[in-house]
Chains A and B, each alone.
Chain A
Amino acid sequence: MQVDLDKTFELPGSANQGWTFLQDIPGVASCMPGAEITEQVDQSNYKGSVKAKVGPATMAFAGNIEIKSIDTEKRELHMVGKGQDSKGTSSATMDLTAWVIEEDGKAILKGKASVTVTGKAASLGGRMMTQVADQILNQFGKNFCNNVAAMGEDEAAVQAREELAEQPKELNGFAFAWSVFVGWLRSIFGGKASS
């Protein structure tokens, strides 16, 4: 099961601030709901984990993140994350290219992701994959923006830091399903999908 996604987020700070944060791999990873970097293996390899809770069941993915390239000139990062759940029934791969550009004086984060899921997660969740991946990336974008905003010292930065502190530490399946559902409803009734 493969899903390709393109995402654009307007950043609150400057392009340079955005690019600075984008190179902070543990920081970027923590923007992913439920994800964290557990160990830096070498300069370009990290170990990480993602926890997802759906009702009584917890799925824990453990895996590696490899930084394929960092292009400072283009402000572009290419990374590949691979993980397997601890029960060995599912695995996921994400190939992500993210870059920061300046457009009309605004800093914009752009991302291109290709997510591949195999095993039970694909069999059982295949139909929801696009919506779920989309929601995860929306959450990611929101956290990323907050992190960039938090670099400042103004009121917005304080608020961003507060929001980040309140961020749940694991991916909650039910809350998540709700946001997917709301996004779907909005798309049906012509509103903008939740962001």
Chain B
Amino acid sequence: MTEQMDKETREAALQGMGCSRKRKEDARFIQGKGRYTDDIQMAGMLFADMVRSPYAHARIKSINKEKALALPGVHAVLTADDLKPLNLHWMPTLAGDVQAVLADEKVHFQYQEVAVVVADDRYIAADAVDLVEVEYEELPVLVDAHKAMDVDAPVLREDLVGKMQGAHSERKHDNHIFNWQAGDKEATDRVFQNAEVVVSQDMYYHRVHPCPLETCGCVASFDKVNGHLTVYLTSQAPHVVRTVVSMLSGLPESKVRVISPDIGGGFGNKVGIYPGYVTAIVASIVLGVPVKWVEDRMENISTTAFARDYHMTGEIAADKDGIIKALRVNVLADHGAFDACADPSKFPAGLMHICTGSYDVPVAHLNVDGVYTNKAPGGVAYRCSFRVTEAVYVIERTMDVLAQKLGIDKAEIRRRNFIKSEQMPYKTCLGWEIDSGNYHMSLQKVLDAVDYDGLRREQEEKRAKGELMGIGLVTFTEIVGAGPSRNCDILGIGMFDSAEIRVHPTGSAIARMGTITQGQGHQTTYAQIIATELGLPSEEIQIEEGDTDTAPYGLGTYGSRSTPVAGAATAVAARKIKAKAQKIAAHLLEVSEDDLEWEVDRFKVKGNPGQEKTMKEIAWAAYNNVPEGMEPGLEAVDYYDPPNFTYPYGIYLCVVDIDKQTGETSVRRFYALDDCGTRINPMIIDGQIHGGLNEGFAVAMGQEMPYDEQGNLLGNTLMDYFVPTFVETPKWETDFTVTPSPHHPLGAKGVAESPHVGSIPTFTSAIVDAFAHLGVTHLNMPHTAPRLWKTIQELGVK
């Protein structure tokens, strides 16, 4: 065997970075052996269920618990009045607002939590919920965000009346939450006044729900003897939950243990803290027994964390050649009854100011007003990094409108405005620094792959025959990996993340992380990073997450932050171990550290073949033969505060055919090229992209939470709420380029959300393109057959 072959064999055996290692998690999942929150059983455990409001806005005149309490097996019925003495009837939200844990005198949205019943089992609890009698007095309902700040609009939040200073700005109206701006308004307006071409497009990004397979829930268990509280919880951020629980309950954080077991998908739905968690914890502390609360599907869609509901206007000022001179974005943000968005504290509209996209925009201004309505609270990042989906949607849609107005092809107008690779790292006019990217190269790759010119010719022919064919194109840049603690914190805690790696004497290892997997495959990919960094086989590296008693503090998994932040922490912790290993190797080989070089899994003495120590040998020595003065053991921890966000990007192209008779859309082709920098596990990346595209397809083509004028949510069951299966899902074609992040230790950027963020405007772009020759510039989502059929009728397409 040649030396080269030997090296390659050893490298392959590690199953490290770049290898499509099979997912470690799947063995238990496909055998039904996952352990989810609802699988937790404890002796003496009781069940909690919620009494919820049928009204969107009403005053509670009385609550009669008598009949419910008389039902055998019922232990308690708690209302806001019962939580008042503990000061837990309201709780702080991550967005600086407060939210009623149980409705206090008033209900603000349909299905709001009014009382909680605790009983022997969930069936008795459900029966008892029906026996709680609540008398309401209906109040005028506000569901239209555009009317929220009308003079005669009903005041929703009586608790805030007179408090005109909000968490983020002054409030202009009792239903106003905040005004938030980025960029230079005056300079932008000036450019618009003198621009050769101006386009403006209103668009509504509808209210949707992440709808993970597993709904939210918890099991709270308070041990009265030692004062310890253990909470099993479906949380994407268990450490933050521990801090919040400690702050709310007064228990020392050391006596609160939060465990996120296996999680059946999160997509942002499991970031927040919900009344169900709080009441289960209170019930367990009061009753001294474990209490489980798990929501059903209707409760999940109706109450825990929706996404979007942004009314946006995108405006571009350009010259006649389509070169952007300025961008203006205006947003009316419907946050529902309580501002419970999950965003870094400083940014009430998340990272919406990435809305300049992949383009060289000289000046821009973003204005966001948040308002209250009688809808459920939330506003989470549904498979997205804090409003990036909205930002990408508004810029990509407006670019199409500009192209259409000038009669320039949508690929060409993007090419003309792209930030050039030589401009990287590029400072955007709204304050971000895009780390790397080669947009021109990636776009060309996609256009060549699909024969773009051929598609356009085909479209011409089809149009001549009266057929509806659309080509959608989106060239998006995301901002993920929140984030640098100088601009990102949650409740004052910087958004770093962590890894703690311990190498055992025999050379296997365990790593514990501050993140938590919900399907991303962390147990597989983190091990691959360590395998490559330390030369230990990934198969022998155990990854643990989600138990706050054992894992180092981290801010959790959402916003595609695991690889950019915790992945970096893993690499840095591994490098700390490697540095110590090098010292031990030098000691063992009796040479200077500088005489050593690293090769796959061992340190070799330069120019002296055969003199070497493998990492496994070094690990053994770390516990019995270390240099004098060095402490034994081989472990390290790293809390990684990223110097910048990462900016993955993608070029997505979609071809649709729309049936004129039925309005049915057939997605003929979807080509997704992603650049997420260094690729850790190509198979997992492909899986993530397929998943994200599916969810993007769901949002664009069917998902919606429609409210009627009375504030009824019409569509909170899976009969109505669209979750695509294999039957509906189009075939995905994936491709990639690699532009590593210059500041990330591995060059990786994160990928899980790009396909969701990027695909949604691509579908809209394709659908609108099918009608573009008829003067249509935009159509709001979801692009369902009945809605498109109406469009076809209105346009008189024959």
The one of A89, A91, A122, A124 in contact with B708, judged by C-beta atoms closer than 8 angstroms, is: A122
**Is the CB of A88 closer than 8 A to any CB of chain B?**
yes
Would A2 and B708 count as touching, CB distance under 8 A? Answer: yes
Chain A residues with Cβ below 8 Å from B134 are 88
**CB-nearest residue of chain A relative to B131?**
A87
Given contact pairs A2-B708, A88-B134, A118 touches B714 in the complex (Cβ within 8 A): no
The one of A2, A119, A126 in contact with B55, judged by C-beta atoms closer than 8 angstroms, is: A119
Would A87 and B130 count as touching, CB distance under 8 A? Answer: yes
Chain B residues with Cβ below 8 Å from A88 are 51, 54, 130, 132-134
**Is the CB of A8 closer than 8 A to any CB of chain B?**
no
A190 to B6, CA, bound (A): 80
Shortest distance from the beta carbon of A10 to any chain B beta carbon, whole Å: 34
Would A1 and B712 count as touching, CB distance under 8 A? Answer: yes
Given contact pairs A88-B51, A118-B110, A120-B54, A126 touches B130 in the complex (Cβ within 8 A): no
Question: 0/1 per residue, A1-35, Cβ < 8 Å to B?
Answer: 11000000000000000000000000000000000
Would A118 and B132 count as touching, CB distance under 8 A? Answer: no
Question: 0/1 per residue, A56-72, Cβ < 8 Å to B?
Answer: 00000000000000000
Question: 0/1 per residue, B694-727, Cβ < 8 Å to A?
Answer: 0000000000000011111111110000000000
Would B708 and A126 count as touching, CB distance under 8 A? Answer: yes
A120 to B712, CA, bound (A): 8
The B-contacting residues of A in range 88-120, CB under 8 angstroms, are 88-91, 116-120
**CB-nearest residue of chain B relative to A82?**
B138
Chain B residues with Cβ below 8 Å from A38 are none
The one of B54, B133, B717 in contact with A90, judged by C-beta atoms closer than 8 angstroms, is: B54
**Is the CB of A40 closer than 8 A to any CB of chain B?**
no
**Is the CB of B56 closer than 8 A to any CB of chain A?**
yes
Would A123 and B56 count as touching, CB distance under 8 A? Answer: no
The B-contacting residues of A in range 128-171, CB under 8 angstroms, are none
The A-contacting residues of B in range 384-402, CB under 8 angstroms, are none
Given contact pairs A88-B133, A118-B110, A126-B708, A1 touches B55 in the complex (Cβ within 8 A): no
Would B714 and A122 count as touching, CB distance under 8 A? Answer: yes
The A-contacting residues of B in range 611-644, CB under 8 angstroms, are none
Question: 0/1 per residue, B28-55, Cβ < 8 Å to A?
Answer: 0000000000000000000000011011
**CB-nearest residue of chain A relative to B710?**
A118
Question: 0/1 per residue, B530-572, Cβ < 8 Å to A?
Answer: 0000000000000000000000000000000000000000000
Would A118 and B56 count as touching, CB distance under 8 A? Answer: yes
Would A91 and B712 count as touching, CB distance under 8 A? Answer: no
A120 to B715, CA, bound (A): 10
**CB-nearest residue of chain A relative to B141?**
A118
User: For this complex, into which size category does the number of interface residues on chain B fall?
Assistant: 20 to 34
Question: 0/1 per residue, B229-262, Cβ < 8 Å to A?
Answer: 0000000000000000000000000000000000
User: For this complex, into which size category does the number of interface residues on chain A fall?
Assistant: 10 to 19
Given contact pairs A89-B54, A91-B55, A118-B55, A123 touches B133 in the complex (Cβ within 8 A): no
The one of A2, A116, A119, A126 in contact with B54, judged by C-beta atoms closer than 8 angstroms, is: A119
Chain B residues with Cβ below 8 Å from A117 are 710, 712
A-B pair count, CB < 8 Å, reads 55
Shortest distance from the beta carbon of A115 to any chain B beta carbon, whole Å: 11
Would B54 and A124 count as touching, CB distance under 8 A? Answer: no
**CB-nearest residue of chain B relative to A120?**
B54
A124 to B301, CA, bound (A): 13
Would A2 and B710 count as touching, CB distance under 8 A? Answer: yes
Chain B residues with Cβ below 8 Å from A124 are 717
Chain B residues with Cβ below 8 Å from A116 are 710
A118 to B714, CA, bound (A): 10
Chain B residues with Cβ below 8 Å from A126 are 708, 712, 714
The B-contacting residues of A in range 38-91, CB under 8 angstroms, are 84, 87-91
Would B710 and A1 count as touching, CB distance under 8 A? Answer: yes
Question: 0/1 per residue, B124-147, Cβ < 8 Å to A?
Answer: 000000101110100000000000
Chain B residues with Cβ below 8 Å from A127 are 714
For the residues of B in contact with A, the DSSP-based class is: loop
A116 to B140, CA, bound (A): 13
Chain B residues with Cβ below 8 Å from A2 are 708-710
A158 to B302, CA, bound (A): 52
A120 to B709, CA, bound (A): 15
A116 to B54, CA, bound (A): 13
Would A1 and B54 count as touching, CB distance under 8 A? Answer: no
Would A118 and B717 count as touching, CB distance under 8 A? Answer: no
The one of B136, B708, B716, B717 in contact with A1, judged by C-beta atoms closer than 8 angstroms, is: B708
The one of B51, B709, B714 in contact with A123, judged by C-beta atoms closer than 8 angstroms, is: B714
Chain B residues with Cβ below 8 Å from A118 are 54-56, 110, 710-712
Shortest distance from the beta carbon of A125 to any chain B beta carbon, whole Å: 10
Shortest distance from the beta carbon of B327 to any chain A beta carbon, whole Å: 40
A45 to B52, CA, bound (A): 29
**CB-nearest residue of chain A relative to B719?**
A124
Would B51 and A119 count as touching, CB distance under 8 A? Answer: no
Chain A residues with Cβ below 8 Å from B714 are 1, 122-123, 126-127
Chain B residues with Cβ below 8 Å from A123 are 110, 298, 302, 712-717
Shortest distance from the beta carbon of B104 to any chain A beta carbon, whole Å: 18
Shortest distance from the beta carbon of B706 to any chain A beta carbon, whole Å: 9
Chain A residues with Cβ below 8 Å from B51 are 88
A8 to B623, CA, bound (A): 94
A64 to B302, CA, bound (A): 29
Q: Which of B134, B302, B713, B714 has the most C-beta atoms of chain A within 10 angstroms of its own C-beta?
A: B714
A188 to B212, CA, bound (A): 38
A118 to B56, CA, bound (A): 9
Shortest distance from the beta carbon of A55 to any chain B beta carbon, whole Å: 16
Shortest distance from the beta carbon of B70 to any chain A beta carbon, whole Å: 16
**CB-nearest residue of chain B relative to A127?**
B714
The one of B709, B712, B715, B717 in contact with A119, judged by C-beta atoms closer than 8 angstroms, is: B712
A3 to B110, CA, bound (A): 19
A117 to B54, CA, bound (A): 10
Q: Which of B55, B134, B302, B711 has the most C-beta atoms of chain A within 10 angstroms of its own C-beta?
A: B55
Chain A residues with Cβ below 8 Å from B130 are 87-89
Would B716 and A122 count as touching, CB distance under 8 A? Answer: no
Chain A residues with Cβ below 8 Å from B708 are 1-2, 122, 126
A160 to B117, CA, bound (A): 50
Shortest distance from the beta carbon of A162 to any chain B beta carbon, whole Å: 39
Shortest distance from the beta carbon of A83 to any chain B beta carbon, whole Å: 12
Would B54 and A91 count as touching, CB distance under 8 A? Answer: yes
**CB-nearest residue of chain B relative to A90?**
B54
Shortest distance from the beta carbon of B711 to any chain A beta carbon, whole Å: 8
A84 to B52, CA, bound (A): 14
Given contact pairs A88-B132, A88-B134, A122 touches B712 in the complex (Cβ within 8 A): yes
A87 to B717, CA, bound (A): 20
A122 to B54, CA, bound (A): 10
Shortest distance from the beta carbon of B36 to any chain A beta carbon, whole Å: 27
A88 to B67, CA, bound (A): 14
A119 to B708, CA, bound (A): 11
Q: Which of A88, A90, A91, A127 has the most C-beta atoms of chain B within 10 angstroms of its own C-beta?
A: A88
The A-contacting residues of B in range 85-118, CB under 8 angstroms, are 110
Question: 0/1 per residue, B473-488, Cβ < 8 Å to A?
Answer: 0000000000000000
A120 to B296, CA, bound (A): 14
Shortest distance from the beta carbon of A174 to any chain B beta carbon, whole Å: 18
Shortest distance from the beta carbon of B132 to any chain A beta carbon, whole Å: 7
Q: Which of A91, A122, A123, A126 has the most C-beta atoms of chain B within 10 angstroms of its own C-beta?
A: A123
The 7 closest A-B pairs by CB, nearest first: A119-B54, A122-B712, A87-B130, A126-B714, A1-B708, A118-B710, A89-B54
23 contacts between A and B (CB under 8 A): A2-B710, A88-B132, A89-B52, A89-B54, A89-B130, A117-B710, A117-B712, A118-B54, A118-B55, A118-B56, A118-B110, A118-B712, A119-B54, A122-B708, A122-B710, A122-B714, A123-B298, A123-B302, A123-B712, A123-B717, A124-B717, A126-B714, A127-B714
- 11 further A-B contacts with Cβ under 8 Å, apart from A123-B715, A124-B717, are A1-B714, A2-B708, A2-B710, A88-B54, A88-B130, A89-B130, A117-B710, A117-B712, A122-B710, A122-B712, A126-B714
Contacts from A to B (Cβ < 8 Å): 1-2, 84, 87-91, 116-120, 122-124, 126-127
